[in-house]
Amino acid sequence: MRLVTFVPAVARARPRVGALLDVRVVDLAAVAEEQLVADGLPATAARRLADALVPSDMTDFLENGSRSFDTARSAIEWILPQQDAAAGLVWPTEDVRLLSPVPNPPNFRDCNIFEGHTLKAAQRMGSGIHPNWYEVPAYYKGTRSSITGPDTVMAWPEPSEKVDLEFEYAAVIGKRGKNIAADDAFAHIAGFTICNDLSARDLQGKEMPLLLGPGKGKDFDGSTALGPALVTLDEVGDPTALAMTARINGEVICEALTGSAYWSWGQLIEHLSRNETLLPGDVIASGTVAGGSLLETDGPYLRSGDVVELEVERLGILRTTIGPRS
């Protein structure tokens, strides 16, 4: 499935969990309700049960586990033959606004699994890769308030002069766990999405020597774009064999493979879950693929009006427009 969080383009509409089918979005709770009524359940009871089985928040949906997933799959199968006439149940994509698949994750962690990006970035800063990089899959923790979805306009992070993209993809935790063995990691991953970890490089450069990691260089409204969908493992296939392409204003700036990573998802999950519980809805970003940032070439950096498109095979296209300066 390609799970999304969406808002229908109608008055006072609230976010819903849906499934993306080509150019349409299935309202999973609404369809589940109709399906229950068709099976003979009274309307009021059907609505309550559907809302419990398919919550409107993706984190709650994932927390429900197989109950929500099974209901969603059943709803999709039920509505497919009649989707052309299913007004209010199936929406054309132009009639909805897609949010981040997980708008309010319990935690956001951004890792650094691609050696190529790390090496190029370190060389630009006049150093090499620290030996500890090969011993510990390092990460930093971002803010939930910075998360946005696809096709959004990022407000310029004043007073930065060097705004950069970071081309990543991300795992979303579907099953809570602690001290998870690397071999068991994928039993805890619900699926994957695309991530653009936008950065204010000049602000970040002032922070990093302070040995506390990135702060305002990363944390500003709209700096963490996720989407367009949370693609479940059955549709992703091998997550280490996906083609990655980044474009700015239609011009290709990066072509890579997810399999070029030094650290595996199993190693990441094992490390992150050591002495700490991973929660359904937690987002774990990969870090930047080689060639997936302008830092590696020392610019030219993004400008107001630039359109950044990050495409990952099977995951879709994540599009972000860089907003005007205030």
Class of domain 108-322: alpha beta
Mean per-residue pLDDT of the chain: 94
pLDDT at 85: 67
Which percentage of the chain shows pLDDT scores above 90? 85
CA 306 – CA 303 distance, rounded (Å) = 6
* Pair of tokens at residue 230: 């949370």
Confidence of residue 210 (pLDDT cuts 50, 70, 90): confident
CA 183 – CA 163 distance, rounded (Å) = 38
Confidence of residue 118 (pLDDT cuts 50, 70, 90): confident
Fold that domain 2-98 belongs to in CATH: SH3 type barrels. (2.30.30)
> Average pLDDT of 30-36?
96
pTM: 0.95
> Average pLDDT of 279-306?
95
* Pair of tokens at residue 143: 């803010």
CA 248 – CA 101 distance, rounded (Å) = 23
Domain ranges of the chain: 2-98, 108-322
